[in-house]
């Protein structure tokens, strides 16, 4: 079952966080296995499955990155080997990766800081660009919704790439 349907909320990248938490607690009480200890095994198994579904739905929907990944997967947009990034972005990242390799051989704290600022700036620009798409997503239909999902997919993949770079930067920072 789709997590949004399970929680009776519309699919959204920016859902009402209070509604998610409220629905989680409501369903946690409703499907708590202890309340069904005297029921037959079939009922107990069903309740355990619903309780697990509730926990998984909450974990996913309450985390912005997991929620985004979930929505993209639900629409069949995240497939192994079919997730391509734009060439201009890859060229920009190649430059950053080359600078990181240079740091490996010739560490320079100022250069590390400069690369960190560059990647943070790129991340901030990505987030500013995608925010209007995320905000208007629930009202979209048809082709415009599909286009929005493609934009979100590109943002998601770029963000994952940048997070890997920032992980590398943090490793360098611990050495300095």
DSSP assignments along 40-75, one per residue: -HHHHHHHHHHHHHHHHHHHHHTSHHHHHHHHHHHT
Average pLDDT, the chain: 94
Could you tell me the maximum CA-CA distance found in the chain, to the nearest angstrom?
Answer: 68
Span 149-164, mean pLDDT? 96
pLDDT confidence band for 93 (50 / 70 / 90):
very high
pLDDT at 176 over 70: no
Q: What is the mean pLDDT of residues 101-126?
A: 92
Instruction: Report the C-alpha gap between 132 and 30 in whole angstroms.
Output: 37
The answer to whether 158 and 85 are in contact (CB under 8 A) is yes
What pTM did the predictor assign? 0.89
Q: Which residues contact 161 (CB under 8 A, 6 or more apart)?
A: 85, 89, 93
């Amino acid at each position: 079952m789709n997590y949004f349907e399970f929680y009776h909320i519309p699919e959204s990248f920016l859902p009402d966080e209070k509604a998610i938490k409220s629905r989680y607690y409501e369903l946690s009480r409703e499907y708590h296995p202890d309340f069904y200890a005297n029921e037959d095994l079939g009922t107990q198994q069903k309740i355990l499955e619903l309780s697990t579904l509730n926990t998984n739905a909450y974990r996913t929907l309450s985390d912005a990155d997991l929620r985004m990944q979930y929505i993209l997967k639900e629409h069949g947009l995240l497939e192994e080997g079919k997730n391509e990034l734009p060439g201009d972005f890859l060229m920009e990242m190649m430059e950053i990766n080359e600078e990181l390799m240079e740091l490996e051989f010739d560490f320079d704290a100022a250069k590390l800081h400069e690369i960190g600022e560059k990647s943070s700036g790129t991340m901030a620009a990505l987030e500013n660009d995608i925010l209007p798409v995320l905000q208007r997503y629930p009202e979209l239909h048809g082709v415009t919704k599909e286009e929005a999902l493609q934009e979100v997919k590109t943002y998601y993949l770029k963000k994952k790439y940048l997070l890997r770079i920032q992980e590398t930067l943090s490793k360098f920072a611990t050495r300095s």
